[in-house]
Structure 1
Amino acid sequence: MARYFDTRATARIDTRAYERGLRRWLGRMSDDVKRAVERTGTDVQNEARRLAPVDTGRLRSSIVARQTGGGRRVGYEVGTNVTYAAAVEYGTAPHVIVPKNRKALYWPGAAHPVAKVNHPGTAARPFLRPAVEKTSFFFRFHMAGIRGGR
């Protein structure tokens, strides 16, 4: 009776060099993706600045982007520390303005001091939300640049 597999051939494959190359390649891709996320954050920041209404320029100049996370979990935040930014972004409802430290309100051009003012509210002038909505467009653009060699 013949026995199969009496003669065996074995081969060893040293995968260490392959693994090192793969790690290098993945590391490079990871750096490229991090760079794409960083550029996306900058693009969203610039778009928010472009869309921000300008009176004195304080709101526009306060818009910043910063990277969050680390390792393979990176992201970005775009925002501002100006106290009235939410009122500009979302608008305000009609409200009453009363004095805080005095008995009456007065401003240049007013006929006389008043005890309160009925403010009609302000319309929303979104600048952050429309900019953030373009995130996927900016990110796809930068990722295409990686694949295209840019």
Structure 2
Amino acid sequence: MARYVNTSASARVDTRAYERGLRRYLGRMSNDVRRAVERTAVDVQNEARRRAPVDTGRLRSSIVHRMENRGRSVSYSVGTNVNYAAAVEFGTAPHVIVPKNRKALYWPGAAHPVAKVNHPGTAARPFLRPAIELTEQFFRKNLSQIRGR
């Protein structure tokens, strides 16, 4: 006849030290990720500036980045406050230009004042979207440089 012996074992593991170490490690990695995102934002900003068409330089110099931190989440945006930036980025459809404050339009070299001008529109010259599309490439490069130190 088989005899069953009741055997048991117990152990107590103090996980507080492990949890503290894990929090420190994740916090450090989080700071590394945060730095990589910030460097990525600067890279995207610089790429957008490089791609921006230049006439006076106002559009190029107005391109900036902004970081947003929400707890463990970090994001960035790159943009400009120049009112004609969207027209450069996306182009314009054909449109009519009429005077706002006068009865006619006139510019140096025009044969005579005119009541309206049929503008053919402008082609898009994207500078922000192509720069933002490089985000993943910049992020991987920046994260590997930070971790590789």
Tell me the TM-score normalized by structure 2.
0.93
Query: Counterparts in 2 of 1:75-114, with a 5 A limit?
Result: 75-114=75-114
Q: Amino acid of the residue matched to residue 75 of structure 1?
A: S
Matched, 1:130 2:134: no
Q: Amino acid of the residue matched to residue 90 of structure 1?
A: F
Post-superposition offset of 1:139: 0.7
Post-superposition offset of 1:32: 0.7
Offset from partner CA, 1:72-123 (integer Å, 9 cap, x none): 1111010000000010001111111100010000111111111111111111
Offset from partner CA, 1:28-78 (integer Å, 9 cap, x none): 011111111111111100000000000000000000100124211111010
Match of residue 47 from structure 1: 47
Aligned-partner Cα distance in 2 for 1:9–1:73:
43
Tell me the TM-score normalized by structure 1.
0.92
Of stretches 86-95 and 138-147 in structure 1, the one that deviates more from structure 2 is: 138-147
Match of residue 4 from structure 1: 5
Of stretches 105-114 and 82-91 in structure 1, the one that deviates more from structure 2 is: 105-114
Q: Is the Cα–Cα contact under 8 Å of residues 36 and 143 in structure 2 kept in the other structure?
A: yes
Post-superposition offset of 1:146: 3.2
Aligned-partner Cα distance in 2 for 1:69–1:22:
21
Over aligned residues, Cα RMSD in angstroms?
A: 1.4
Matched, 1:15 2:15: yes
* Number of equivalent positions: 148
Matched, 1:26 2:22: no
Aligned-partner Cα distance in 1 for 2:112–2:146:
64
Aligned-partner Cα distance in 2 for 1:45–1:5:
69
Q: Report SS of the residue matched to 1:82.
A: coil
Match of residue 70 from structure 1: 70
Offset from partner CA, 1:4-35 (integer Å, 9 cap, x none): 235x5433221111111111000001111111
Q: Report SS of the residue matched to 2:114.
A: coil
